[in-house]
Structure 1
Amino acid sequence: MKIYTKGGDKGETQIYADKPLRLKKSADELECYGTLDELNAHTGMLSALLAEHSPGLLNEIQTALFQIGFAISATSQLSDQDLAKLELAIDNMQASLPAQSSFILPGGSVAASQAHICRTVARRAERCLVRLTEQHQVADLNLSYINRLSDYFYVLARKINLDCGTAELRL
């Protein structure tokens, strides 16, 4: 099977919502899919940077991002358990962190910096999903998960810096 189909050479592509839709590649739906894909790639980079210390949750997050990509179709398999697992991971990491009394600048170690990039892309993906709710039905769970995911990456960045002894840059 060839990787290219030539079907998108004129700036359109097909997606599957409740029915197949032919859309311009500039459509909000494709912007959202692209942002989720970008976040998935950044999450993969973070997992690679953490190597053997990588929380197994990052692979699950990548799968969940793929599921959110089906947000406007009836095939998403994201579950309440996925959200609960993310919230538990946030709570567990946050319990080991010093209290935060000022703003923290993104940065620190390379892996923590990558976690901050994931956080900002997750915020953009959330904005894209919210925009999609104006045109399609998007399950609330997808919005909750992507919102919580940016919190997860923020807390993960802080935890990575703490674990590797890198000071946080505070304002």
Structure 2
Amino acid sequence: MIVLNKIYTKTGDDGETALGNGARVAKHSMRVTAYGTVDEANATVGMARLHADPDLDAALARIQNDLFDLGADLCRPDMERDADAEYPPLRMVKAQVDRLESEIDAMNSRLEPLRSFILPGGSALAAHLHLCRTVSRRAERETVELATMETVNPDAVKYLNRLSDWFFVAARVANDDGRADVLWVPGANR
């Protein structure tokens, strides 16, 4: 159990932070950047939840919890040493990816196929979900970049890839099942 009774520690005043295994790294390290963007994505989900109906709110709450799991996964390097850890690190698992895929398929079954790209917007909820999509896509790019330097759980990358797709489809659902999507008109303002 985590107990946070003192919020500031002053240990980061020199530009370093502690990873989940206690190692100190620069705050601008790729690992910190990746899980920091996951945290940012989580905050955008919180904003979207303000506009969601109860069913979507419950799904977004599950995603927020998953994003904390993902941050916990990314802040613990040395996957090969997991078996020796005093407390086994929390890692993303295939079931979390599978759940997103199932939810995407269920939402997408309500929608007509796209015949144009859509602009991020429409309803307030859809606009927030598109912001969630773009921030989660950035988190994915940063996590993939991290994976070129260090070991990263493959399920973490897969989860982020599916998550941005989930937000895209959810945004279409939020736009009256795609009927209120704002279509891109190529060259409209030439």
Give the TM-score normalised by the residue count of structure 2.
0.82
1:72 and 1:138 in contact (8 A); partners too: no
Q: Which residue of 1 aligns with 2:17?
A: 13
Match of 2:176 in 1: 162
Please, what is the CA RMSD of the aligned residues? 1.8
Quote the Cα distance in structure 1 between the aligned partners of 2:101 and 2:127.
21
Note if contact 2:137-2:161 (Cα within 8 Å) is conserved in structure 1.
Answer: yes
Deviation, 1:24, is 1.2
Contact 1:97 1:162 in 2 (8 A): no
Q: Which has the larger radius of gyration?
A: 2
* Percent pairwise identity: 40
Structure 2 unaligned spans of 5+: 77-81, 83-88, 186-190
Correspondence for 1:113 among 127, 132, 136:
127
- Residue 114 (structure 1) shift: 0.4
Instruction: Check conservation: 1:72, 1:136, Cα contact below 8 A.
Output: no
Q: Structure 2 CA distance, aligned partners of 1:82 and 1:57?
A: 12
Residue number in structure 2 paired with 1:38: 40
Partner of 1:3: 7
Aligned to 1:71: 74
In structure 2, relative to structure 1, the CA distance for the partners of 1:97 and 1:13 (3 Å cut) is same
Offset at residue 111 of structure 1 (A)? 0.5
- Of 91, 116, 134, the residue aligned with 1:102 is 116
Give yes or no for contact 1:43–1:62 (8 Å, CA) kept in 2. yes
Distance 2:59 2:150 in 1: 29
Which amino acid in the other structure matches residue 65 of structure 1? L
Greater shift, 42-51 or 153-162, is seen at 42-51
Q: Which runs of 5+ in 1 are unaligned?
A: none
Aligned residues: 169
Summarize deviations over 1:59-84 as a string: whole Å, max 9, x none. 11111111111235241242222111
For 1:39 and 1:148, locate their aligned partners in 2 and report how far apart those are by CA, in whole Å: 14
Q: Partner of 2:188 in structure 1?
A: none
2:101 counterpart residue number: 87
> What is residue 54 of structure 1 aligned with on the other side?
56
1:13 match: secondary structure: strand
**Structure 1 93/152 Cα, relative in aligned 2: closer, same or farther at 3 Å?**
same
**What TM-score do the two structures reach when normalised by structure 1?**
0.91
Q: 1:71 to 1:30 in 2, by over 3 A?
A: closer
Note if contact 2:172-2:178 (Cα within 8 Å) is conserved in structure 1: no
